[in-house]
Structure 1
Amino acid sequence: MLEKTVVRPLVLKPFHHSCWITALGVIVFIACVLGILSRPVGMLASIWPANAILLGLLIRNPSLASPAGWLTAAFAYVLADLATGANLNQALALNAANMAGVVIGFLLFRRFSAEHRHLRRARSVLYMFAASSLAATGASLVGAFAVRLSFGTAVPEAFVAWLTTELVNYVVLLPVFLTAPHPDDNGQSLFTATTAVPSSAWPFLSLVVSCGAALAIGGPGAFAFPVPALLWCALSYGLFPVTVLTAIVCVLTQIAVASGALRLGVSGVAEATLTSTRLGTTLLALCPLTVASVDAARRALIGRLSHAVDYDYLTQCLARAAFMARAAALVAAPAVRKGGTVVMMLDIDRFKVINDTYGHAAGDRVLIAVARAVRAVLRSDDLVGRLGGEEFAVVLGRQTRTDALKVAERLLEAVRTLEIDLDDGLKLAVTISIGTAEVSAHNVGLDGLLLAADRALYQAKDAGRDCVRCAVSGV
């Protein structure tokens, strides 16, 4: 559980940090006011999102857990109570419990690996539930006495009410923050993807229908109506969308119970009813979250296996089989032929001499450095693969022969500028030779193009290396 962190926390400049601290206080204040407004007379709030929101923000951005951040959050808690009519002693007592729960939760989640902290492993939801339960218990031990002083409620009754309120809000709301995409990520890598492209709207529509049926039919069993639809969503959509949908359903359920819109077959909205519904909502949320978390772990595993099969482990270029399959499909596409496509063969000059003189470890460093330099020049949708040894192949889409020659010259220059460090402190310079062949009506397919490019490559070798040669049109 103490693995290396994968998801990067936000790194804030001083000015941005101050802005975030201020925003943290504003967010906590608003969340507290919303919770206070949901509080039945003489009871705890039906919905109390502030603690889960604060904990989620601190987990995603640990730099906010500074003395200024904690003080700002505490001030926002107290200010919200004072602004809504509470006296100072009552506000301090109640919010001491709120802060205690958040502190315990933050310390526990810091001990989790990044994968578990962001619910990307099969047991992550269980760990999240355990940490949330401990945080809720810690807050309840303090809060039970605060509620006794504020509302005159018996300590055991207050403890149970506080515990269930804290637990449901942590389990329902916290996963939204834990699984939210990182703002610095333009797209997630193959290994860390937590979202999937929705293949159908039917799971979502079934969720809407099941929630409507729960309101229309009512009764104690209405809680279970959305479960099948949520499980369908968990298997159809990504982890983050499922946490959002689950949170919406659970929050609306709590509101519906507190307002009487969801008829449970009991008279009035007693504290015992709210306690039962909080526990039911907590358990309802765990099912789709667990399924979505397990599915995310499965997707990540499949992604790693697919990457291991499709990519060369040393250079991280496409492996020969994967390159040939993708390149053949690309070359055969009619649109590609119209837009202009060029195939290149690249070979590291005198690579055998490098291996014989400096050893295979140095040769591996050369391969890695050259591959990295080549990928840096190419566009994201160009294909580059390692066909074997020191030989690479490239497919450039939407490129004329003239454009491809310019790309080839940039590739030559990028490799020329490399200085590869050796174990004895020496730096090794390398060059490559390139042969190109353009897709045309005369080509017979990828194999013919690679053969033509390979012949041009040998012409570049005969011409002195570190240069590019083009295959004769129609070859």
Structure 2
Amino acid sequence: MQTFENSVEQSAFPRSSFQPLWIVGLGLTVFAACLLGIFSRPFGMLASVWPANAILLGVLVRHPLLASPAGWVSAAAAYLLADLLTGASLGAAVVLNAANMTGVSVGYLLFMRLSTEHRHLRRPLAVLYMFSISAIAGASASVIGSIVVTQYFGEPIARAFVAWLTTELVNYVVILPVFLAMPPLSDRERVAPAASTTAAAGINPWPIISLVMSCVAALLVGGPGAIAFPVPSLLWCALTYRLFAVAVLMAIVCMLAQVAVASGILHLGVNRLAEATLTSTRLGITLLALGPLTVASIDVARRSLIARLSHAVDYDFLTQCLARAAFMARASTLVETEKRKGPVFAMMLDIDRFKVINDTHGHAAGDHVLQAVALTIRLALRSGDLIGRLGGEEFAILLVRQTPMEAARVAERVLTAIRALGIDLENGEKLSVTASIGIADLLSAGSRLDGLLSQADKALYAAKADGRDRIRVFGNGISETGAVAGR
């Protein structure tokens, strides 16, 4: 059975009417990645950089709908076409790319057994899982690939296995995180406000500047330890930027390091470019990438935990409205910010005869009523308005940048929606409820939140006294001493 997490992840993918176009795009992407790898070959048959497998696996893990028979056929055709167009024989192309497809298939099956949070590198052990799956997938491809290389090109099987495995491993570890950490399309609405806030606050450029300087120092100094020069800067980036940005920076640095070593731009202190040098470099780059990625992944998990704890403290667990303390704190800030820009209105809302509901139908029914009313109120408000549960069946609402007529319309819309509620009880009954609302504006409250809420509360008492299920505005015949008892 498809899990809820998988259904959410797949729902962000284009519908089936567009899927053929995406499958063609998958093939073109794999084809381009294969050509990049083929043209990076410094000698022999194996490329120093082979991103195609990692890119294909990353795309399939992020968009499982592409892992259909048509998607696999498109990818296989791209592999074969790239080899055939660059001079490989049909037999060699078929068996070599069978190894590539085997590794990607094994990696895909293993990744899909992980939870969505682990697949997206949002848990402390996620990078370790990714590394383990990459090693298994690379070894699976290497078993087949080394036999083929030995048969067709006469390379010793042990050397062919090690070369293939290290190439697979470094490319998986370096490239996969870019796809795994990429924000899903379904998160665009949530990520956009955070991104705009970050942009407004300014991005710290010094970790990137430090990273560039460390890479330049590696080229100038050279030697076997040069590939480790960027590690401190990458750790700084991991503690400063979001996971996706760290993954992109890591991929750029590691891919450039591989190309620099293979082309001889980065001198490692050896007289000639040997296969052993490339093997050692690949392993070094792989291990280099794990540290900053793990730090960034742990930081994501830490931020997520802090956000959940903050939500638990700030929000009422039953209604998901702001808790009293959080509402008062945010409302005070909002009042100070908005009172110079336009009107600020407070509404106090109380569910009518809530005690009778609890006494007659039980507290479980009362909880259902609270949840339904709270959701109804939230749906009637704008994103910039605040709603909090002050206690029991009483809610407070703060409206900003609205005219008195608009505030009255909001209140009437809330009451109308509450009247229309039909709350199903466990015994099969359907319960109807009403509410009363009192409104006050900031000018009459003397520019203080406590005065504003107090006056809205007095208006609420008046609405209760006048028969409930209605709206009363402070100042319309309601004075500071005009609260009505017997609510």
User: Is TM (by shorter chain) over 0.5?
Assistant: yes
- Structure 1 residues 103 and 188, CA, compared in 2 at 3 Å: closer, same or farther? same
2:440 matched residue in structure 1? 437
Of 282, 296, 303, 1:299 maps to 303
2:365 matched residue in structure 1? 362
2:375 matched residue in structure 1? 372
| Structure-1 separation of matches of 2:115 and 2:365 | 35
Tell whether the 8 Å contact from 1:373 to 1:414 is kept in structure 2 after alignment. Answer: yes
Tell whether the 8 Å contact from 2:178 to 2:244 is kept in structure 1 after alignment. Answer: yes
| Structure-1 separation of matches of 2:190 and 2:50 | 32
Q: What's the TM-score, normalizing by structure 2?
A: 0.93
1:170 matched residue in structure 2? 172
| Structure-2 separation of matches of 1:128 and 1:355 | 52
2:77 matched residue in structure 1? 75
| Structure-2 separation of matches of 1:242 and 1:67 | 33
| Structure-2 separation of matches of 1:302 and 1:378 | 27
1:41 matched residue in structure 2? 43
Segments of 5+ residues of structure 1 without an aligned counterpart are none
> Following superposition of structure 1 onto structure 2, how do residues 282-321 of structure 1 map, counting pairs within 5 Å?
282-321=286-325
1:61 matched residue in structure 2? 63
| Structure-1 separation of matches of 2:443 and 2:270 | 77
Secondary structure of 2:301's match?
A: helix
| Structure-1 separation of matches of 2:126 and 2:144 | 28
Q: CA deviation at 1:463?
A: 2.0
Tell whether the 8 Å contact from 2:339 to 2:447 is kept in structure 1 after alignment. Answer: no
Of 34, 43, 49, 1:32 maps to 34
Tell whether the 8 Å contact from 2:58 to 2:176 is kept in structure 1 after alignment. Answer: yes
| Structure-2 separation of matches of 1:278 and 1:457 | 71
Q: CA deviation at 1:443?
A: 1.4
Amino acid at match of 2:173: V
Tell whether the 8 Å contact from 2:445 to 2:452 is kept in structure 1 after alignment. Answer: no
1:126 matched residue in structure 2? 128
Root mean square deviation, CA, Å: 2.1
Q: CA deviation at 1:150?
A: 3.6
Tell whether the 8 Å contact from 1:121 to 1:297 is kept in structure 2 after alignment. Answer: yes
> Following superposition of structure 1 onto structure 2, how do residues 159-238 of structure 1 map, counting pairs within 5 Å?
159-188=161-190, 199-238=203-242
| Structure-1 separation of matches of 2:35 and 2:139 | 23
Tell whether the 8 Å contact from 2:335 to 2:344 is kept in structure 1 after alignment. Answer: yes
Greater alpha carbon shift after TM alignment, 118-127 vs 260-269: 260-269
Of 272, 277, 288, 1:273 maps to 277
| Structure-2 separation of matches of 1:471 and 1:59 | 58
| Structure-1 separation of matches of 2:134 and 2:21 | 28
- Structure 1 residues 431 and 425, CA, compared in 2 at 3 Å: closer, same or farther? same
| Structure-2 separation of matches of 1:85 and 1:201 | 45
| Structure-2 separation of matches of 1:64 and 1:338 | 50
| Structure-2 separation of matches of 1:262 and 1:102 | 31
Greater alpha carbon shift after TM alignment, 199-208 vs 352-361: 199-208
Deviations 1:273-308 (A, max 9, x none): 111110011001001000000111110110110000
Q: CA deviation at 1:43?
A: 3.6
Deviations 1:358-391 (A, max 9, x none): 1111110111011111111111111100000000
Deviations 1:4-40 (A, max 9, x none): 6376224442221111111111111111111111112
1:114 matched residue in structure 2? 116
Secondary structure of 1:185's match?
A: helix
| Structure-2 separation of matches of 1:97 and 1:358 | 66
Deviations 1:140-162 (A, max 9, x none): 00010122234321110000000
Deviations 1:59-112 (A, max 9, x none): 111111111111111111001100111110110011010001001001111111
2:252 matched residue in structure 1? 248
Of 329, 332, 336, 1:332 maps to 336
Amino acid at match of 2:278: L
Amino acid at match of 1:218: G
| Structure-2 separation of matches of 1:372 and 1:42 | 66
Tell whether the 8 Å contact from 1:312 to 1:318 is kept in structure 2 after alignment. Answer: yes
1:394 matched residue in structure 2? 397
Secondary structure of 1:346's match?
A: strand
> Following superposition of structure 1 onto structure 2, how do residues 75-154 of structure 1 map, counting pairs within 5 Å?
75-154=77-156
| Structure-2 separation of matches of 1:74 and 1:196 | 42
| Structure-1 separation of matches of 2:61 and 2:130 | 12
Secondary structure of 2:216's match?
A: helix
Secondary structure of 1:424's match?
A: coil
Task: Note if 1:260 corresponds to 2:298.
Answer: no
Secondary structure of 1:284's match?
A: helix
Greater alpha carbon shift after TM alignment, 237-246 vs 36-45: 36-45
Tell whether the 8 Å contact from 1:4 to 1:113 is kept in structure 2 after alignment. Answer: no
Secondary structure of 2:5's match?
A: coil
Tell whether the 8 Å contact from 2:442 to 2:452 is kept in structure 1 after alignment. Answer: yes
Q: What's the TM-score, normalizing by structure 1?
A: 0.95
2:9 matched residue in structure 1? 8
Tell whether the 8 Å contact from 1:94 to 1:143 is kept in structure 2 after alignment. Answer: yes
| Structure-2 separation of matches of 1:356 and 1:124 | 50
1:423 matched residue in structure 2? 426
- Structure 1 residues 15 and 153, CA, compared in 2 at 3 Å: closer, same or farther? same
Tell whether the 8 Å contact from 2:42 to 2:263 is kept in structure 1 after alignment. Answer: no
Tell whether the 8 Å contact from 1:60 to 1:177 is kept in structure 2 after alignment. Answer: yes
| Structure-1 separation of matches of 2:34 and 2:433 | 63
Tell whether the 8 Å contact from 1:456 to 1:470 is kept in structure 2 after alignment. Answer: yes
Of 460, 465, 474, 1:457 maps to 460
| Structure-2 separation of matches of 1:409 and 1:442 | 22
| Structure-2 separation of matches of 1:188 and 1:127 | 27
Deviations 1:398-448 (A, max 9, x none): 112221111111111121221111112221111111111111175151111
Give the paired residue count.
471
Tell whether the 8 Å contact from 1:90 to 1:149 is kept in structure 2 after alignment. Answer: no
| Structure-1 separation of matches of 2:239 and 2:37 | 32
| Structure-2 separation of matches of 1:234 and 1:354 | 53
Segments of 5+ residues of structure 2 without an aligned counterpart are 481-487
Aligned-residue sequence identity (percent) comes to 63
